[in-house]
Amino acid sequence: MPFDAANLFPILPEIAILVTASVVLVLDLYLKEQDKDINHTLTLIGLLVAIGLTGAVGGGETRIVFDGNVVRDGLTDLLRGAILVVSLLAFVYSRPWLKDRGLFVGEFYVLGLFAILGMLIMVSANSFLTIYLGLELQALCLYALVAFDRDSKKGAEAAMKYFVLGALGSGMLLYGVSMIYGATGSIEFGPVAQAVAEQGMDNKVLVFGVVFLVIGVGFKFGAVPFHMWVPDIYEGAPTPAVLLLGSAPKIAAFALAIRMLVDGLEAIQPDWQGMLLILAVLSMGLGNLVAIAQTNIKRMLAYSTISHVGFIFLGLLAGSAQGYASAMFYAIVYAVMSTGAFGILLILSRKGFDAENLDDLKGLNDRDSWYAAMMALVMFSMAGVPPTVGFMAKLLVLESVVRIDLVWLALVAVAFSIIGAFYYLRVVKVIYFDKPNPDMPVLTTSGGVRFAMSLNGLSLLVLGLFPAALLSWCQSVFV
């Protein structure tokens, strides 16, 4: 294929992130210890440029470039922007924590940027090969970030578990892709969708391919019974790594599911719907029930993540434009909520002290009433309490399930949501009604961190009161 500069226009945000990561990598070699702030500033500038370019190249007709392997459409524009905004917040929150522990080095920013690049590639992929390359780039960087604190034994153990189970999930996914390629003769989603529509489920190779593909998607989301890596990684990894790991990758995983299952295999939607239904019920059940028993808040948020994945799957299995739009809305909202929750934990942590347990949040209202309000907003939103956006996200997903006459499934989801509300409201109770420990460190944060957290927390309230703009954008993608 001859080189065409016009092909580069739709991927300008990816190029911006790649250039930023490369500049930080090289520049870090020449920076003295006291000049490491330049890495942080460059990273934020690179992300802001990428967000601007996303707006510049977005809109208009769908464009397919690089010989059918990359696509820029409405889905790409929205998810790309969401990943970049969430990642920007994550880097802002992480800086004080890294500085306190002597981990304020260029490698963190380089690995984070390359992980973000992998997510952007997944979002704009138009073939199984491209999406797998993006997935592996993201995964390899996240493995390294989990083990980033070399003095932490828990971090090393978590990274090893993540690497082994992540490799297993990737292997399952790749095995499924190879079978689908064998059954259809193509790795591009368009030709695959055409071949699948003609063959249906008569081709046994295709059947096995779809099963392994759904297992791979389940692994990458952390859905039950492929969830075993999630709690250990959330607990053992450094909190900035968990913040990056637990937010934007969920949006990328949603893109993975949409591109593979909807763009490639929508003709056999009734067949993979049943598998997602089982994963959704198990994830909502186990996630909410086990989270109640947790006293480590990072572990609690890990099981909470598993339950939220169940809700995202409800939208996907609905098999309608409304269902896909509600699942997309939920994935974006969850990433913002997760960023806020782990951001507060980073703000509360100090040198020699990590806020990891429920007791560490005691009396937060007496120590800093504004951060207490932001954490309460995040918890209310995760529990689905109106008027926060979490309520709207749950309502939209439940409506899409009811519309395909799976009322029993919606009732199951509501029951598990009520159970889940207990452990979220317990956090609010600890913040407002318990007395703070006298030996807690004094809270001091920069204006930038406080502004970012205010933006993060208040966005959950504003989006809950005025969800129309984001929702209509999500719906326009699947019209």
Higher pLDDT, 103 or 138: 138
**Angstrom distance (rounded) from CA 397 to CA 314:** 6
pLDDT at 441: 66
pLDDT at 155: 85
Question: What's the chain's average pLDDT?
Answer: 88
pLDDT reading at 54 higher than 80: yes
pLDDT reading at 106 higher than 90: no
Q: What is the pLDDT of residues 354-409, one digit of tens each?
A: 788 888 888 888 888 888 999 999 999 999 888 889 999 999 999 999 998 889 99
What is the Cα gyration radius of the chain?
21
pLDDT reading at 37 higher than 90: no
- For helices 321-348 and 248-257, the axis angle rounded to 10 degrees is 160
**Angstrom distance (rounded) from CA 303 to CA 394:** 17
Instruction: Cite the DSSP H helix spans in 58-185.
Output: 74-100, 106-123, 128-146, 153-184
**Angstrom distance (rounded) from CA 72 to CA 75:** 8
pLDDT at 313: 92
Lowest-confidence pick of 100-109, 131-140, 463-472? 100-109
- Residue 442 banded pLDDT, cuts 50, 70, 90: low
Lowest-confidence pick of 12-26, 56-70, 432-446, 456-470? 432-446
Torsions phi, psi for 65 (to 5 deg) = -130, 180
pLDDT at 88: 93
- For helices 106-123 and 74-100, the axis angle rounded to 10 degrees is 170
* pLDDT above 70 as % of the chain: 98
Q: What is the pLDDT of residues 297-324, one digit of tens each?
A: 989 999 999 999 999 999 998 888 889 9
Q: What is the mean pLDDT of residues 40-50?
A: 92
**Angstrom distance (rounded) from CA 62 to CA 416:** 39
Q: What is the pLDDT of residues 251-283, one digit of tens each?
A: 999 999 998 888 888 888 888 888 899 999 999
pLDDT at 4: 64
pLDDT at 74: 85
Return the structure tokens found at 130: 């491209």
pTM, rounded to two decimals: 0.94
Lowest-confidence pick of 28-37, 45-54, 318-327, 428-437? 28-37
pLDDT at 148: 86
pLDDT reading at 200 higher than 80: no
**Angstrom distance (rounded) from CA 142 to CA 90:** 14
453 touches 374 (CB < 8 A): yes
pLDDT at 302: 92
* pLDDT above 90 as % of the chain: 40
pLDDT reading at 3 higher than 70: no
**Exposed, middle or buried by CB within 10 Å (0-12, 13-18, 19+), for 469?**
exposed
pLDDT reading at 236 higher than 70: yes
pLDDT at 254: 92
